[in-house]
Amino acid sequence: MHGRLDGLLYQVVQLVGLRTEWPFGDVNLSLAECVMLFELADRGELAQQEIADALRVDKSRASRLGSVMEERGWIERVRDPANRRVYRIRLTPDGERVAERAAGIMHERHAAVFDALTDEERAALLTGLTGLTRVLREHPFGG
């Protein structure tokens, strides 16, 4: 059973592709940029450490990513009034537009795939992915 699951998981990753950038209309985004945009759109302002935790990277990698996204005009960093040593990061209006467009395109792509499944397959996938996500949070991959 584990061997079959290993093989299927490998096939899913292979079929989705290990791209470094994804096209979203007139802009290409890395997976890390997508996650950061979506987290900020969903949760509002975040500290750099919170972004690093969401991306599962160290704080310096999150800082470099933030610098690139700041140069692109998608985020801004503001000092936390409660702790002047901490920067809060939030989306700019341009960042909100990019996040909204990327989320819409991603939803369309996913819907096309999920709509091709039967109701039973979608229900089983929902159950399986819910369990897999729970276990990976409890026992991080590679950890």
Could you report the per-residue pLDDT of 93-142, keeping only the tens digit for each?
999 999 999 999 989 988 998 999 999 999 999 999 899 888 888 887 66
Could you report the per-residue pLDDT of 73-89, keeping only the tens digit for each?
999 999 888 888 888 99
Q: What gap in Å lies between CA 122 and CA 85, rounded to an integer?
A: 46
CATH topology of domain 16-138: Arc Repressor Mutant, subunit A (1.10.10)
